[in-house]
Structure 1
Amino acid sequence: MTTRRIDVLDVLRGVAIMGTLGTNIWIFTSPAGPEGLLDALGRTGTVETFLRFLANGKFLALLTLLFGVGLELQYRSAARRGAPWPGWYLWRAGLLFLEGLIHYVLIFEFDVLMGYALTSIIVAYLIGRSDRAVRAWMITVGSVFAVLVGLVTLALAYGRAGMAPPAAAPSTLFSEGSYLDQVAARIELVGVYRIEAVFIVPMGIVLFLLGSRLMRAGVFEESGRGAALRRKLMVIGFGVGAPLNLLTSFAGETWFLVDRYLLPPLVALGLLALVTTLVHRMAGAPGLLRRGLTNVGRTALSCYVFQNLAAAALCYGWGLGLAAEFDELRPWWVVAAWAGVCALFMALSTLWLRRFERGPLELVWQWAYTAPQSHLRTNDKVMDNSIKR
């Protein structure tokens, strides 16, 4: 890939990471934390509903597409080196799952890394197959996924129409509970909090494969077929996906799954095309915003994990406890909290990359990935020398 296209991917990753915080910040700033997520959907005002619409699911889908692009790059690298595939990529997936598990237990209930790890193992065996086979997988899995979302949505509508659940006392775990109390709750309620994987994995299979194929189709090329493809994606994303997604955002909590998993991927295609086009059209040295997004993209794993930790420390009772203190100032203080955390990590990632090539978690992760290979190569050399003797 050219340096220009690598820059585009870094900016896109930065946008996706900051955008996922735009969804998660509504969870952190709720006094009830994750436990108040679904209850809040039915009683938010017009302004908050619109602000949630801007981020909900769209940047998760964009990040998922970019994971597919990354998987395509890994596949190409292995092919160039003549290395077996998926080979050591499965070890990468295992490390990603471990990273996600630690992130889930210690920091955040709705970690996506574990789901991405499982998805990447499946897609690793599909990515090198023919375009016809990949299309068949995408259509089949996508259709099953859409039916699943539709059936659950109908069940939610029928259940809410048939009976009103009794009002529950608001939870104080996240406004007053200790850090260890929250860790214990994540372990105890793992089946509840990890149910999202039922939706993340099939959606991920489709979007991983789509990201791979979009790259092969030249979506990141500056002109020619890349520009034409991006125009089509923007029509799909902003002309079709965004208006429908806006309707479901205001349709109530019954449409939560459609609003988060089914329509946002369409909008994400438009976002991918728009950001890529804007970066290609920028001339001269990058400005402050673009540099910040690029550096967040280069340290994406670290920023994803640590921005959630920072938001938890800002909002939860074991930290500054601002979620309960500023609840009356919603939704505007939520926007300010998101912007502040984003600015913080743009600055921190920039300062870190002045001294190091990778982010802190990326350095640990790279060591964990390469150490076993180095050990095996050393053992092979020792065995070769022994045989020669």
Structure 2
Amino acid sequence: MTYRTSAVAAARHSRGGRISSLDLLRGVAILGTFGTNVFLFAHPGGPAGFFQDFVGTATSFVERAEVGLRVLTNGKFLALLTILFGVGLELQYQSARRRGVPWPGRYPLRAGILFLEGVAHFLLVFEGDVLMAYGLTSLLVAYLVGRSDRVVRNVVVVVGGTYAALLLAATASLVAAPEVSGEPAPVDPSATAGWPAQVAVRLNEFLLLRAEIVLIVPSAVVLFLLGSRLRRAGVFDDTVKGGRLRARLLILGFAVGLPLNVLTGFSGPDWLLVDRYLLPPLVALGLLALVTHLTLRMRGEPGFVRSGLIAVGRTALSCYVLQNLLAGALCYGWGLGLAERFADARPWWIVGLWGFVGLVNVAFAVAWLRRFERGPLELLMHRLYAPRPADRRGPREW
């Protein structure tokens, strides 16, 4: 079976009981998220070294080029992935209602499994894991998704408003603070030389390295609920109402969010909180609308690119972990050590690294789906979750 044939078969299968644009969007979000993480892996000192260097304002052409590449992805695809997770939660809620199954029922077990997978991913693979935050958020939102629109709206306004106000206040404080001059701390390549040492650091500095969860969970609560309500509002439907909603999201994302995000992205590290956490969700909404619109307008069998993205979307959890594992093996000293070898070639070689890992992900997803209905980690979660026979029907969304 050729790659083309198997990929088309996977794309066809994705339509059975699923919203095809969701698989495509999820594939875009997974590969796009790696577009942010790849800069952490490609630093000679690993993620810690990257943030040590994240001071001052870019001045040279190379530094500005790297900032520009980071602006393309930073936070946007993570926000898109978060919104899609909320859509998946909504689909599971609606499926439970149709079958008369109590909600949230056994879903907290599923959230707990996802959290534990995130703990393992954090300790063994990557400090920037998001699965732990998703596990916590899904546990909270599972009890909110079925509430009235009024309750959900109040939660979104209170949580989102408080979150935005705190981040803006912190940003104002950073901008107003006196500028501290000085050189970044020297990079220590030995920090990524040994895998056991990396695991030990993650374990010993668990609370410090997981501090970002405090920033991710409130935002994720809002975006999960937003994804749920967008699904109900018909954003994925080929209707006049759905088209109007997508048009509004396109304006919000690309006419409002994107210009502001580019501005903050080039304004220096004082604007990091706004650049990564506040504005990217607006751009993500535009991306969701754009990809959905294009998918609804496409006719005929999916081509190479669309088929590959759909395959990645159907194995999203596995591909998320795989791309981080591959990047660690390629970049860190315990692997091929490419981060240190190509330190002088930043940021250009990083684009090639992203492309290579993305192609491997696509090839893996397509090959795996030739024989299995779910990705390997999705199969593991399904077996651990082990729904009762009466609960097996309905959408299966990561």
TM-score (norm 1): 0.92
Moved over 4 A (4+): 1-5, 162-167
The aligned counterpart of 1:125 is 143
CA distance in 1, matches of 2:149, 2:278: 23
Counterpart Cα distance in 1 of 2:217 and 2:349:
33
**Cα 1:167–1:60, aligned 2, differ >3 Å: closer, same or farther?**
closer
Query: Using the alignment, how far apart are the partners of 1:166 and 1:296 within structure 2?
Result: 41
Whether the aligned pair in 2 keeps the contact of 1:5 and 1:221 (CA below 8 Å) is no
Conserved? CA contact 1:38–1:253, under 8 Å? no
Q: Distance in 1 between matches of 2:121 and 2:184?
A: 32
Matched, 1:334 2:347: no
Indicate yes or no: 2:33 matched with 1:20.
Answer: yes
Point out the structure with the larger helix share. Answer: 1
Q: Which amino acid aligns with 2:348?
A: W
Alignment equivalent of 2:196, drawn from 180, 191, 196: 180
Per the alignment, residue 78 of structure 2 pairs with: 60
Deviates more, 1:161-170 or 1:228-237: 161-170
Gaps of 5+ in 1: 375-389
The reply to whether residue 110 of structure 1 matches residue 128 of structure 2 is yes
Q: What residue number does 2:68 align with?
A: 50
Separation of aligned partners in 2, 1:340 and 1:166? 33
Separation (CA, whole Å) in 2 of partners of 1:351 and 1:252: 42
What residue in structure 2 maps to residue 295 of structure 1?
A: 311
Give the distance between the partners of 1:64 and 1:270, measured in 2 at CA: 14
Q: Does 1:345 align with 2:358?
A: no
Task: Give secondary structure in 1 for the equivalent of 2:231.
Answer: helix
Q: Which runs of 5+ in 2 are unaligned?
A: 1-13, 390-398
Whether the 8 Å contact between 2:52 and 2:184 is mirrored in structure 1 is no
Aligned-pair identity in percent equals: 56
- Residue 195 of structure 1 aligns to a residue whose secondary structure is coil
- State the match for 1:204 in structure 2: 220
Are residue 41 (structure 1) and residue 41 (structure 2) matched?
no
2:382 to 347, 366, 370: 366
TM-score by length of 2: 0.90
CA RMSD, Structure 1 to Structure 2 (Å): 1.7
How many residues of Structure 1 are paired with residues of Structure 2 in the alignment?
Answer: 371
CA pair 130-347 structure 1, distance change in 2 beyond 3 A: same
Deviation readout 1:8-57 (Å, 9 max, x if unpaired): 00000000000000000000000111112333333651111111000000
Q: What is the Cα deviation at residue 193 of structure 1?
A: 1.2
* 1:62/1:167 CA distance change after superposition, 3 Å: closer
Instruction: Output the CA distance in 2 between the equivalents of 1:218 and 1:19.
Output: 25
Cα distance change on mapping 1:333 and 1:4 into 2, 3 Å = farther
How far apart, in 2, do the equivalents of 1:190 and 1:166 lie? 27
Q: In terms of mean alpha carbon deviation, does 165-174 or 219-228 score higher?
A: 165-174
Q: Distance in 1 between matches of 2:383 and 2:167?
A: 40
Of 225, 241, 244, the residue aligned with 2:257 is: 241
Other-structure match for 1:135? 153
